[in-house]
Amino acid sequence: MTAFNLSFYFLPDREQPIFSTRAHVFQIDPNTKKNWVPTSKHAVTVSYFYDSTRNVYRIISLDGSKAIINSTITPNMTFTKTSQKFGQWADSRANTVYGLGFSSEHHLSKFAEKFQEFKEAARLAKEKSQEKMELTSTPSQESAGGDLQSPLTPESINGTDDERAPDVTQNSEPRAEPTQNALPFSHSSAISKHWEAELATLKGNNAKLTAALLESTANVKQWKQQLAAYQEEAERLHKRVTELECVSSQANAVHTHKTELNQTIQELEETLKVKEEEIERLKQEIDNARELQEQRDSLTQKLQEVEIRNKDLEGQLSDLEQRLEKSQNEQEAFRNNLKTLLEILDGKIFELTELRDNLAKLLECS
């Protein structure tokens, strides 16, 4: 049975995607009913499908081989835009609220337009289906109603007025002839006993029919319960069939998605390799930076020592400048004293020269 269903759902004309887009899929938290729970780690393909056999529209999305969206569009559904890139709708059959996050506002608007379009198509299909059901069920209900009412009508038990009138006429006409009163009276008594027996028989039949009707009513209630159970079982089977349809109808989509995932994995591996190389380069730069930092700290320490020595030398230089200035002042004073002594010495030498000249003259004169 399973193999037959799978082969049946793989028929190309049964259900085809009519619109697809990519989005991040979320579901409302069943416990809090407030927080969103992501059902896909990355953006996945979300498609509208049309089942021509059952004339229904569905929204289906797969994450790998898992169906994360399987929602049948009904006329009561409403797609709501909650932000520029996020929209949601409630699915009473799945007892959840789906949310989609799009990459742009344009994709969100396009998805919302398609939702409204397919919702209207689902409403028209439902109205046509109801009209067909009403046209089909109305004649059968009328015939069934007639069958149920026929055993319970008073006419079927006691007869109609037209059927009872001849009996009254037969009973009254003999009384109009006094000469033949005895024979009609006995005949009338026999007819009356006959009808009493018929009435008793009809009453018994009526009781049997009433009991049968009560039993039928009880059977109808039991049948309704069984029908409800069958409907629940059919709904469960329908959901199971829907899941199988979802898996089977998107086989090509799964293959494409797998190819995309493989390509994405290769791209991520290449990106990872580039990142690892960049990390190695950054580690080398960090080591170089640490060495430069150590050199900087060493140079800073040396600079501090040089600054301290410079301050000491500046102090020594200032002391030397003061001593030099004092020495220069002393030398200047010595020079001044020396000049004074030279001037005095020159005067003394001149005086001695004059004294020699005078002594020489005196020697010549003597």
pLDDT tens-place string over residues 8-41: 333 344 567 889 999 999 999 888 888 899 998 8
65 and 254 in contact (C-beta within 8 Å)?
Answer: yes
- What angle is formed at CA 121 by the lines to CA 81 and CA 22, rounded to 5 degrees? 45
Domains, the chain, with CATH or none: 19-129 (2.30.29.30)
Is the per-residue pLDDT at 107 higher than 90?
Answer: yes
The mean per-residue pLDDT over the stretch 45-65 comes to 88
Question: In Å, how far from its chain's centre is CA 357?
Answer: 136
CB atoms within 10 A of CB 70: 21
Q: How far apart are CA 55 and CA 39, in angstroms?
A: 28
Residue 85 pLDDT greater than 80, yes or no: yes
Give the Cα separation of 190 and 295 in Å (integer): 142
Q: Residue 129's pLDDT band (boundaries 50, 70, 90)?
A: confident
The rounded Cα 51 to chain-centroid distance in angstroms is 24
pLDDT average, residue stretch 98-112: 94
pLDDT at 134 over 80: no
In this structure, the dihedral spanned by the alpha carbons of residues 26, 30, 33 and 36, taken in order and rounded to 10 degrees, is: -20
Q: CA 176, CA 170: separation in Å to the nearest integer?
A: 11
pLDDT category of residue 111 using cuts at 50, 70 and 90: very high
Instruction: Give per-residue pLDDT as tens, 217-265.
Output: 877 877 787 787 777 777 788 777 777 766 665 666 667 777 888 888 8
Instruction: Render pLDDT for 261-295 as a digit per residue (tens, 0 to 9).
Output: 888 888 888 888 888 888 988 988 898 888 888 88
pLDDT-derived band at 47 (thresholds 50, 70, 90) equals: very high
Residue 177 has pLDDT above 70, yes or no: no
Higher per-residue confidence, 31 vs 109: 109
Predicted local distance difference test score (pLDDT) of residue 257 = 74
**What is the number of other CB atoms lying within 10 angstroms of the CB of residue 157?**
16
Whether the model pTM is above 0.75: no
